Structure 1
Amino acid sequence: MGINPTTTPTSSQGSRRRGRGGMVSGFVFRLIREQLGHTQDTLAEAFAVSTDTVAGWETGRRPLTALAVGHMLIHRHRLMRMGASPALLLALEKALEADVLLANALEDEGTPDDSPLGARVMQRDLVEVLAWPLNGVTPERMRPLQPPTRPRRGPAADRPELSREERRRFFGHMRRMAEEAQGDGQFLLRRQAMYLAGYDDASDTSDWLAQQRRADRPSDWLTRWLTSRSVAAVAARQGDRDRMQHFISTTLDDDEAGEAANLSYWAYWIGESAHPELSDDFIAASGPMNWHGHRLLQHLVGGLTPEQGFFDLNVHSLWALLAARPGLLRTTSDAGRALGSQLPVLLDNTTASTRARRELEGIRYVIRLAEA
């Protein structure tokens, strides 16, 4: 469902209204400036640019994405030497990529073959920054950061935010890409466009997603597996835990290939893998897992919240990870200690499913073996 952008009543009537191409990176840049204790004036002096230039970067009026790569690297290195938070510098890098994807969607131009959304398999660090203006949830790595060291002058937004019209154009583009991505090699684009479309709070989103799922007739195992996982993930994000439990029981339980694919996808999603993947094929690759598992263990332990839709998948994935890598608990770690302290509370929780409780008992047994 493509949505035609509106036109602006200016001297260039009929031209496409451009979105704020540097909105997310500009917001993160402002946070970095504030963390460093600078005003726009003092940072402009340190960077040898005008105050208006700094203000333009932060509002997206002069997008950071429009800077030459070399200039952006110089600015980033300068911020690093000034003592900017590594978490914020990483967020700035992801925000620049997110702004490219947002600008492409807000312009609603091109065909699926041109879309940067299908260029590689996205990871959590990018998706969380991209979803920030859509759902208002601060990316996980940025949540522990301290507030600014000096007060802001005047009111300021507390997160990057799209207008209602921009949201309409963004989600309209996601739907159009998903509907048009039907050719060979376009499944990744379709899958990721549908995933992002699931953030839309419009009344017809669930019906549209259901219609797209019915239209899918995957022929190979990996495509069927990914489709099932994507359906369950979107449903879980919307609070439907039954769909996730169905995915676990029909696609993971007693399926060695499915279990391996689940762990491979998780490991890539949270950044255990050192390089980006250009297709989903790595998920079904045979052979030993070429990642450690410590980051995945930490992530899954942090997601053991019974009220969340992903709770059952997190428990099952943790159980499968420890079955495949029991040595993860043989070394002292914050994640291992947190897991040990959480288990009694989780097992006393009356809302946990029968499967989740059984797998939590299995995890407790693995911990006892590791401590023996």
Structure 2
Amino acid sequence: MRASTRQTLTASTGKGQRPRTGLLSGYVLRVIREQQGYTQDEAAERLKVSPDTIAGWETGRRPLTAVPVGQMLGLRHRLMQMGASPALLQALERALEADVLLASALDEGTPAEESPLSAMVMQRELAEVLVWPLNGVAPGPVRSLPAPPRQRRGPAPSGPELTAGEQRTFFANMRRAAERARGPGQFLLRRQALYLSGYDRGAETGGWLAQQQRTERPDDWLTAWLNNRSVAAVAARQGDRDRMAYFIDTALQDDDAGESANLAYWAYWIGETSVPQLSDEFIADGSLGPWHGDKLLAHLVEGIAPEHGYVDLNVHSVWALLQVRPNLLRSGAAARALRERLPIMLDSRELSARGRRELESIRYAIRLAEA
């Protein structure tokens, strides 16, 4: 791919140089413009900037993260007036934040303790945008879009891209951060760096992650629980379901604290609770909070599919969720989707014995709710 069409941060990520940012937010801005059917010249006129500015924003040459807050708010309001969807505008906000995280992850000069990954617990909307150039999977608001009214001219990337060198730098820095984040108050950084390291497709990634788990010496229940969950999730993403099955058997089943922590983690991750959390402590406070659960049920049901890496955890989490939120079975699209999914999964050979028992229990609960 020619350099003029490649969406990259920069090749200059050496020591003493901060990498450019704007890869992710620039690409989302491009998606917004194309969905409205505007050319760069037409969008520039509507946004009251020059066409070169639009081109610079979209390529990251002029990163949106460098735009002053007041100007950024004005830009957002004009995008609203142009008819941009609220979901895409929210994706743009997440992309701006993800650009800051990505630039830091590519900067070898950033000390681990100053990494923004240690500042707050990520939620799915942010994480999906951040890993977009790593796994090639567009975040939900972009993935579900129809084809734009106008077709692009010439070769164009299907998503934001990192060069092979930038990907190596990213994963090397994530591993370094995870290995060094061993002190008091650094577990959040270590956990989130391990999570991002799991997107490395290298053959040795699984072994490295397993070794990291073996060397973890947590001195409290929550740290141990989160460490085991993180490693099981990464292993499942890479096709190893045994670790996830072991996690469910040992850390969730017949463990009220583990079940509560699992649902609290899911609820925050999926956005049932919108208040940002600065540490993982909320997971272990024993309270599920005032969230409803329909959004979480919809997410979990979507993952109840034979080919889904987290299918065992999703099935068990639905089962546990319905124990504390039984009314979710009585209304909503998620409940209908669950009813439709049950026969398919119960006929699947990929389902574990535990998962089959839990789905049979759910089917029985549905029959009682409909009686």
TM-score by length of 2: 0.94
Aligned to 1:199: 199
Q: Deviations over 1:76-110 (max 9, x none)?
A: 11101111022211111111111001111112222
State the shift of 1:141 in Å.
Answer: 2.9
Following superposition, the deviation at residue 16 of structure 1 comes to 4.5
1:32-76 Cα shifts (integer Å, max 9, x gaps): 000111111111111221111100000000000011111111101
Q: Does 1:160 align with 2:160?
A: yes
Per-residue deviation, residues 346-367 of structure 1 (Å, max 9, x unmatched): 1111221100000000110111
Q: Deviations over 1:297-352 (max 9, x none)?
A: 11111111111220000000000000111011122x11111111111121111221
Q: CA deviation at 1:140?
A: 2.2
2:227 is aligned to: 227
| Paired positions, count | 361
Is the contact between residue 260 and residue 288 of structure 2 (CA under 8 Å) also seen in structure 1?
no
Find the counterpart in structure 2 of residue 75 from structure 1.
Answer: 75
Structure 1 distance, partners of 2:209, 2:347, is: 36
Q: Name the counterpart of 2:133.
A: 133
User: Identity of aligned pairs, percent?
Assistant: 64
What corresponds to 2:181 in structure 1?
A: 181
Matched, 1:339 2:338: yes
Partners in 1 of 2:336 and 2:44 — Cα distance? Answer: 46
Distance 2:46 2:288 in 1: 50
In structure 2, how many angstroms separate the alpha carbons of the residues matched to 1:325 and 1:348?
Answer: 26
Map 1:1-372; keep pairs closer than 5 Å: 16=16, 18-287=18-287, 289-331=289-331, 333-372=332-371
Tell me, yes or no, if the aligned pair for 2:263 and 2:288 is still in contact at 8 Å. Answer: no
How much does 1:17 deviate? 5.3
Question: How far apart, CA to CA, are the structure 2 residues paired with 1:361 and 1:276?
Answer: 36
2:289 aligns to what SS in structure 1? coil
Deviation at 1:143, TM superposition (A): 1.8
- Report SS of the residue matched to 1:356: helix
Structure 2 partner of 1:11: none
Contact preservation (8 Å) 1:112, 1:186: no
- What CA distance in whole angstroms lies between the structure 1 residues aligned with 2:146 and 2:276? 31
CA shift at 1:204, angstroms?
A: 2.4
Native 8 Å contact 1:135 1:199 kept in 2: yes
Q: How far off is 1:7 after superposition? A: 8.6
Give the Cα separation in 2 of the matches to 1:107 and 1:292. 40
Q: In structure 2, what is the Cα distance between the partners aligned to 1:48 and 1:338? A: 45
Match for 2:335: what amino acid?
Answer: G
1:356 and 1:25 map into 2 onto residues whose CA distance is: 40
TM-score by length of 1: 0.94
Q: Structure 1 residues 36-45 or 107-116, which shifts more?
A: 107-116
Whether contact under 8 Å (2:21, 2:103) holds in the other structure is yes
Runs of 4+ displaced beyond 6 Å: none
1:97 alignment partner, SS class: helix
Q: Could you tell me how far 1:214 is from its partner in structure 2? A: 1.6
Contact conserved, 1:19 with 1:166, CA < 8 A, in 2?
A: no
Cα distance in 1 between the residues matched to 2:286 and 2:250: 21
Unaligned runs of 5+ in 2: 1-9
SS in 2 for 1:239: coil
Report the Cα distance in structure 1 between the residues aligned to 2:335 and 2:191, rounded to whole angstroms. Answer: 34
CA contact (8 A) 2:25 2:96 kept: yes
- For 1:209, what is the secondary structure of its paired residue? helix
- On the 8 A contact 1:30/1:58 being kept in 2, the answer is yes
What amino acid is the match of 1:202?
A: G
> In structure 2, what residue type is equivalent to 1:295?
K
In structure 2, how many angstroms separate the alpha carbons of the residues matched to 1:78 and 1:237? Answer: 40
One-letter amino acid of the structure 2 residue matched with residue 188 of structure 1: L
Indicate the SS of the match to 1:292.
coil
Please identify, of 261-270 and 109-118, the stretch whose mean Cα deviation from structure 2 is larger: 109-118
* Cα displacement (A) at 1:142: 2.2
Cα distance in 1 between the residues matched to 2:31 and 2:16: 30
CA distance in 2, matches of 1:16, 1:162: 20
Q: CA deviation at 1:193?
A: 0.3
- Residues in 2 aligned to 1:153 and 1:44: alpha-carbon distance in whole angstroms: 18
Equivalent residue letter for 1:62: R
- Measured against aligned partners, the alpha-carbon deviations of 1:114-139 in whole angstroms (never above 9, x if no partner) come to 11011000000010100100000111
3-state SS in 1 of match to 2:295: helix
1:286 and 1:205 map into 2 onto residues whose CA distance is 34
Measured in 1, the distance between the counterparts of 2:11 and 2:28 equals: 29
Cα separation, partners in 2 of 1:28 and 1:243, compared to 1, 3 Å: same
